Amino acid sequence: MIRRTILALSLAVCGSAFAQVAVTIDTAKPGPVIDKNVYGQFAEHLGTGIYEGMWVGPDSKIPNTKGWRKDVVGALKELRVPLVRWPGGCFADEYHWKDGIGPRSKRPVKVNTNWGNVTEDNAVGTHEFFDLAELLGAQVYINGNLGTGSVQEMSEWIEYMTSPSKSTLAELRRKNGRDKPWKVDFFAVGNEMWGCGGNMNPEHYANLYKNTTTFIRAPKEFKPQIIASGGHTDDVKWADVLTREVKNDMAGVSFHYYTIPTGKWEVKGAATGFPESQWFSTMQNTLRMDKFIRDNKAVMDKNDPEKKVGLYVDEWGTWYDVEPGTNAGFLYQQNSLRDAVVAALNFNIFHEHADRVRMTNIAQMVNVLQAMILTDKTRMVLTPTYHAFKMYVPFQDATSLPVSLENNTAYSAGTQAVPQVSASAARAKDGKVYLALVNTDPNKATEVTVNVGGAAGNSATKFTGQVLTSAKMDAHNTFDAPNAVKPAAYSAQAAGGKLTVQLPAKSVIVGAVE
């Protein structure tokens, strides 16, 4: 019944004729593993992203564990969140870690000058963040303060977190409630050093980076992989300079790119109620991610042919005008089917570049930008982006498989066009081959024939998974209608020796191919 309903919806939109796209998965030529951290999250001290959205404090009437909302943590666990980046973002370069330890009632109150000029009482600090990571079963990515901090401050923070010794800082950690050292998986030296982190040039930052990493010391089993702050959008100079000048203690170079419908920071476009022209421009702009990654990879391949250094897209996602009536500094926006399609397109791009892209962090987890979850006091709603992340869970640590598309039609607007169909495939840890398909066209469905090639020349006979779609471009979930956009079961059987998947307009489909 579900499949027939979806098919009827597609036919109603585009008529009885389908364009047919051929997708071939080559199982004989496995590629690099898609690192699970490609599905990483980002939690900055920004708006209600942490306070209210996730953290309510241990004395709250809202059910919580160690101050973290049980409903939100439970929903995030369903995504198998592999990694969380904290405390920023721009906030990181004004954050002093000692403000966030010790009795919460005695912590200093500051002003969050980056995001809304609201007070920051430092209730969530190092210990609380590690509690969250442990509740989620996630790795941690901590962003150090190079902007207003110092080498000494970062060095001491690492010692506080990771030292098993009897040093003063390790003993202070024990006094504050944590005996054993924490494992800090990743540690970044600053954030957006070209902008809010200090308005530096890459050559100056490269020297500061080398100076800082000289003094980041930890026992081998607790020492983090260190990340350098890189470039953004079409700027490849940061990746070039850093991979040329830094030869040690650099696991990755960060990269930031946000999808903005208008391409203008002043007026970005609305999250809902937008015209089709802004649906198209959003698809077009988010697909620029592929070129940006390719350009960065080109300079990195020249300087680091052994691919020792990863390209970490640790900020990405959609950025719209804030919802009317909200604090402009809180970056609260609604999340629609368009955002889910954007997320899936980016997943497919990241899979394509799994040789370098070993971590990404969508901005952000809750109530900020392209969030997984929206909250309002005791209420919580899952966004379409949340559902896209959950559908793609099988791709975490899966082995990528080459995919070729033939007869891929175009979704066009005037003289400009983008591919209608995006595809990605991988062999998951359960041994199954998974295929993800995205239809960028909000009006036209299509048929996709699926072929599975390889040493044995296998042919596909069955597809089982889920589809995410809706009749409206800006369909979204609200607290009163939390299930307006959610995945539905989908399956297809081969007929006449051919497996065909009906791909509705504006949709994401993920499933196992047998």
* Structural contact between residues 392 and 344, judged by C-beta atoms closer than 8 angstroms: yes
Query: How many angstroms separate the Cα of 444 from the Cα of each of 8, 19, 276, 430, 474?
Result: 13, 9, 13, 34, 16
SS3 call for 26: strand
Catalytic site includes residue 315: yes
273 is written with which tokens?
């109620």
284 is written with which tokens?
């077009």
Catalytic residue from among 315, 323, 406, 514: 315
Query: How many angstroms separate the Cα of 260 from the Cα of each of 104, 197, 341?
Result: 38, 22, 14
Catalytic residue from among 44, 156, 192, 352: 192
How far apart, in whole angstroms, are the C-alpha atoms of residue 419 and residue 107?
A: 53
Catalytic site includes residue 192: yes
How far apart, in whole angstroms, are the C-alpha atoms of residue 336 and residue 318?
A: 11
* Structural contact between residues 42 and 365, judged by C-beta atoms closer than 8 angstroms: yes
- In 3D, which of 344, 459, 442, 324 has the Cα closest to residue 390? 344
The one-letter amino acid code at 206 reads A
Pair type for strands 110-112 and 488-493: unpaired
What angle do the packed helices 276-286 and 288-303 form, to 10 degrees?
A: 10
* CA quadruple 288, 276, 319, 378: dihedral sign: negative
For 308-338, the three-class secondary structure string (H helix, E strand, C coil) is: CCEEEEEEEEECCCCCCCCCHHHCCCCCEHH
Pair type for strands 433-439 and 507-513: antiparallel
SS3 call for 273: coil
How far apart, in whole angstroms, are the C-alpha atoms of residue 134 and residue 172?
A: 21
SS3 call for 206: helix
Which residues are known to be catalytic? Answer: 192, 315
